[in-house]
Structure 1
Amino acid sequence: MAKEAAARIKINKLLEDAGWRFFADEHGPANIQLEPQVNISKQELDEFGENFEKTSKGYIDFLLLNEKGFPLLVLEAKSEDKNPLVGKEQARRYARDQNCRFVILSNGNLHYFWDLERGNPYIITTFPTPDSVTGYQKVSSDPVVLVNEGIETDYIVLTQHPRYSSDAGWKNEEERSRYIQENKLRFLRPYQLQAIRALQQAVKNGKDRFLFEMATGTGKTLTAAAVIKLFLKTGNVQRVLFLVDRLELEDQANKHFKAYLSNDYKSVIYKENRDDWRRAEIVVSTVQSLLVNNKYQNLFSPMDFDLVISDEAHRSIGGNARAVFDYFIGYKLGLTATPRDYLKKYDGSKNRSKDPRELERRLMLDTYRTFGCENSQPTYRYSLLDGVRDGFLINPTVIDARTEVTTELLSQEGFIVSFTDVTGEDIEETFRQREFEKRFFSPSTNMLFCKTFLDNALRDPVSSEIGKSIIFAVSQHHAAKLTQILNEIADRMYPCKYQSDFAVQVTSQIPDAQQFTINFTNNNLLGSGNFLETYKTSKARVCVTVGMMTTGYDCPDILNLGLFRPIFSPTDFIQIKGRGTRRHDFREQLFDDELKEKILNPEKITFMLFDFFANCEYFEEKYDYDKVIKLPRGKSGKGGEGPRPGPEEIETYEHLGTDILATVREEPVGPEGMRIDRMFFEQFEDTVRENDFIVQSVEEGKWDQVIDYVNKEVFDKPEEYYNLDKLRKAAAIDRRLTLREILEKIFGLIPRFKSKDELLEEEFSKFIADYKPEEVNAIPAMKHFFKAYVTSDQIRHIINNKHYNELYTNPVFSARDLKAVPLKYREIIPEYIKDYVSLNQFAA
């Protein structure tokens, strides 16, 4: 009975928070009616009996009314220990009796919204407002019209230029190519048509969630624009939210939508149109801006957007960002360039907590689950190999170049440096690839990287200068050093042609860095046409970056990519490689018709991918390299030739302090410790909020960059001695917080730290939503099993090894508890947790 009363209290509050009224007030008349004809006073409602589901007159439903007092929505309530879906058919009958289109099914913790005209119930995280339901009702959703809508190659062009087919420039085949280019007409490619038609088929099959897995360079935004037009034109949605995970992609997407669809639909960036975004059919936003202070809940109703598209889906719905995506009711489309198959050789059963691919694996699994992909098959897939086969994309020529130093850094033993310190004590240090340019500095290795890159880089087919290139460095400091080295070498290679503008550092600490990326694409970075006046190409030839030019950056005339750092994220690797896969005809930049005819190889048919840290081997294990370069041994401090030098003689090894942790002051916490801890946390909060680099990086969603910066530049400094352990203690939460969570709290991206049990409840709710168990009476037992398995190493060991006898004496989870769990879920729950739940966050 207590569970029924608890559910009633929660449902009442959810209704009131969403603006529904049990009683008339200054906002209007009551719009909640208890059925069947149960009339009670406010006092009686507050004191209502424990069994709120049943009265002498039958079962109580909530009937929600519109502004005119007519039935609008049926809310079927169940007690906390029951799956809300058990009331589905009862609610359907009642809704039809009341002529209602909408149903909410809730047990106070788990809620489903159901549009009886559109398909199946699906989970919502909060209740919709009265106005949003009324607005949503105006959408006369008709999937049949959407499914039958004809989609041809000119679907976007008919919005850009409706009468194009009657223009003389189109009719004349000799002029047609120039006509298309001058009017910037975008015709859909065959595979883009296939993607849209696959979505139509999915809708026909009753689906409302879709995932397009399309390689970088295949035009995901154009495909998304066609999908948006399809839904808007057929009247199946009123407004679309397009989510990105970086600021630069926000502006880029909005420009594309304006270029493709502005004649029929208005597109805006939310943060630039906070007061009038409702005038637009397409709203573009970063996930981060909607997360700040739960803005998505405070400013929007779940029904404000009936189609939500997530660009780079596995990133923009990861972690807390998924809450934004799940909040809105309607169709959902995910776009990703990262195939789950990319990890097919990864054995997730080994070294789960240590392997850097584990996070990516979880993100990809969660992405496929979020978009309802059965058997991990996306709605439509078009891979890099497909693009290469069809002639739309190109493969790289990989240069696997390893110095002696990097070879040893990559080895299991690592790079070992031995020397005698100033006190006469023998010292031995071991470094590995992760520490390159962080704790291990090698000027000669960086010089060797740059020289090898320039000696082997593809040349521009028109001007014969070094082809446009992007180099990815370890850090901003590393980028600055590489830029300096490249400019010095270029000065010797091309005397008087460059004035320290051959290479440019493009990182977030550089003023106007974002504009630099745009200028590089537009071929006017620090000038244009340095070798040929009639040839428009950027004077600056190399952009040295860390992470700014990885995702969504479009520069088709890139000829060289340099991986001057180890990469541990499959997503980053695929995105970086994708910067070079677009085809290009260099004659488009040449304004000399006579010279055009003399260019022997004007089309880009490959690009160089310089890999100095065996990244290709790391991800692909066996790669058929087109070219392998064995580099000469640099001057290192390792080898058997005579005695090892002292630290002042090691030219390629610069060691920056290894004893930082020895200086951390540990102070016992007494009764007054809570206040001290709070002050400590507040001081850290002030420190990061005052740091412009951290603030900007958080706004841009560059979390890898933020966390790396805080670890290196903020933690363990002699002034404050901030570190993660102390911050965790100061937060006083019953689980292990991540640095990202702490920073998200500081910048208002999450309202508070969730307790261990709150997180467990959320994870279990996701599990229930996925499996929808029919054994509703066993849900409490399943929850107990789920929580025990997640939080207890001992329980996991017992279950995984089938040592069930040990449960008879276990105080946390007994044999009796296990027997209460349905047999099939004793297997399903552990496997689900292994795939989808990160155990680290639940550690104390």
Structure 2
Amino acid sequence: MTIISKKQMSEEDIKLQYITPAITAKWDIKKITMETNITDGKINLKGNFITREKPKRADYVLYLNPNNPIAIVEAKDNKHSISHGLQQAMAYASMLDIPFAYSSNGDGFFEHDFLTGKERELDLDEFPTEEELYCRYKNGANNGEGLSENQEKMIQQPYYSSQKTYPPRYYQRIAINRTVDAISMGKDRLLLVMATGTGKTYTAFQIVYRLLKSGMKSKILYLADRNNLVDQSIQQDFAPLEKVIHKVNFSKDDPSTITSYQVYFSLYQQLAGGNDDQEEDINNTILKLKQLFRPDFFDLIIVDECHRGSAKKESNWRKILEYFASATQIGMTATPKETKYISNIDYFGEPIYTYSLKEGIEDGFLAPFKVINVMTDIGEGWRPRKGQCDIYGNEIEDRIYTNSDYDYNIIIEDRIQQVAAEITNYLKSTDRMAKTIVFCATEDAAERMRVALVNQNSDMVQKNPDYVVRITGSDTYGKSKLDYFISVREKYPVIATTSKLLSTGSDCKMTKLIVLDEMIGSMTEFKQIIGRGTRLREKEGKTHFVVMDFRNVSRLFADPDWDGPIEMDEDFNPKSGSGKNTKPPVGPGPDPVDPKQPKPIVNRDGCQVKIVYKTVSVYDANGKLLRQESIIDYTKENILGAYASLDNFIRKWSAEEKKEKIRGLLREQGIDLETLKEDQGMSDVDDFDFICHVAFDKKPLTRKERAENVKKRDFLNKYSGAAREVLEALLDKYMNTGIYEIEKTEILKLDPFMKMGKPQKIASYFGGKDGYLKAVKELENAIYDGGAA
């Protein structure tokens, strides 16, 4: 038997015969994984075509235990040097927070030690044992000071695992490990920054579970600011701890029995009182707290969505944290607030770990998005006529009104109708059941938008009155539908109009369309709103989402803060906020409460609004504009790139033996003609005509019209009997399904051709197969005779 030399072996052979035996000689095989997916692979949006990149994959990952990978090995074939794969291994190791990286080509190993910064080459039989690597890790950790006893204890404490619970993703594992490690070292203020949709609550649960099971913490308070978020957390991620969980209720809790639990959930508002500026509220709350809990009762507090009140220096919520000052406190947020008035970093410290929206999209764990920017003819300015009155008969103040005014200071009824129509048309052209959130300027605006959307979608509302629902803070009915809206299983409501209620926190997994019809100046709020769509649900058909912007809010993507590094504001002063004039500026005020002076309302007779321009923008994960286009423009650009002129396209179309090849070429450019035709309401148009229409502005003919033209030209009179019957059947097939089907000889095995005989017999009507193919080609020429209309 001839033995293949190393240089001729594939990478897989090198791994099988050299690298794997060398590692397993030193390591328990149960602590090794191979071909380990690190990411899921980024989802790319190209035209109206969606693809996934290959996931990042490590050849070998070695573990101390399921919590802690310690080494990564990248393999190459023997045509490469031993160290050739080291930089790739180092990149993966940095990403995974792993201290040792190796590469190998089957001759030996090359090592990079992140603890010392040194590299060395090892023989094949010198790969370190588990005991050796752990000893080096233990002694080299904490800048050479070594692991503490508590740190070693926490390393051995496993995650919670079950058949229903997925193992932590790499970034969740890092967040969990860094947090419990820091707590075991005695750190008492920590900040975790994780993008919306990346599993902050699940991460918090695993932190709590490990700290409880290790005995390091025994009384834990989890603070959130929405009741549905508390219930959501208890019922879902924290369900394995349900027997030791209690939801705080001041009116019912008994001080003698409340101390028997381990994990307590509460709302900020419940603890801090209803009004942030009323000293009486906070004093009453402190009294209630003293009745239930001693200041040292909790040894760990997790503050969910800590970008809100908890970090505000003068906030009553902050006073609650100060009451429990002895507890370790973890702030969790997707968007830490850093202004001269508020600072998460000042209170919680620098983030112990950050996993950004950019990283989530790049890794394929979060959904990418397109932005449809819709401009009206009054967006940049509308001025009333001299002496023009609103519907109440009041004269409208003579000035220029812009997007910053509509729904805030003046109501333009036709603008609301046009926005609702644009939303409706988009859903009709894509998916009428796509979960949609419409962010409106005020609660009143959300109600007006609800009514407009109901009337423009009456066919769907007739099927279910909850097709469109307003979900706002003051709307009791709407709030009762929130759980149904965010449910993956529940179909209704489909469209939710809101003001602020859905901008943060609510886990809207199936949101496919986010509509921005409010002015947003805060980057924190903008990131939170975009975060409502970032969750992926591929099995349910959600691979990306769309942002429809009517107020040019998407300009914030160009802001350096969109996904830049988190830094404390240079002007932050922890003593600020106590004076009357030091509060941050506010946006448009609330709805007017004086019915005698309502906002001016202008009906369609007073101001008729038109949509004047639409663009589709695709951004990269950094918020950088990749391209700005309409899908039609994108298609036109690619067609013109392939076919310089109409005559050139017609010649190539006519010369192409298989027309389907042209459709395939366009598909490679991300253009799915069938989907695009459906979106444009042109499914009955031939691809030839559609291309001519999009790229060369020609009037399209339907397939039926082209078939009728063939009959009018008497093309079929050249044939008689069975041959003519076959061609008539082919023409009918073209009319119903298009040109590609009649090009295939397999069509002769289908009805109605099967009734005419076997394919060989049908071909005989034309003098054989070549005669049949010639007749089909002539039929095609007749169909496209005269070219484009």
Structure index of larger Rg: 2
The alignment's TM-score, normalised by the length of structure 1, stands at: 0.45
> Which TM-score applies when normalising by structure 2?
0.48
